[in-house]
Amino acid sequence: MEHIDIKTLDPASTVVVATGNLHKLEEISAMLAPQLPGMRFVALGQLGDFPEPDENGETFRDNALIKAEAAVAETGFAAIADDSGLMVDALGGEPGVHSARYCGRHGDDAANNEKLLANLADVPDAERTARFVSVIALVSRSGLVTVGQGTCEGVVGRTGRGEYGFGYDPLFLPADTPGKTMAELLPEEKNAISHRFHALQDLVRQLDGWTTA
| Active site (catalytic) residues | 83
HSE at residue 61, side-chain half, CA atoms within 13 A, is 7
- Which CA distances in Å does 114 have to 99, 165, 167? 13, 17, 11
Pairing between β-strand 78-88 and β-strand 14-17 as defined by DSSP bridges: parallel
Residue type (1 letter), 28: I
Q: Bridge-partner residues for 79, per DSSP? A: 16, 139
Contact at 8 Å (CB) between 64 and 81? yes
Q: Which of 183, 151, 189, 179 lies closest to 167, judged by CA? A: 183
Q: What is the DSSP string of 130-182?
A: EEEEEEEEEE-TT--EEEEEEEEEEEE-SS---SS--TTTTTEEETTSTT--G
Contact at 8 Å (CB) between 77 and 11? yes
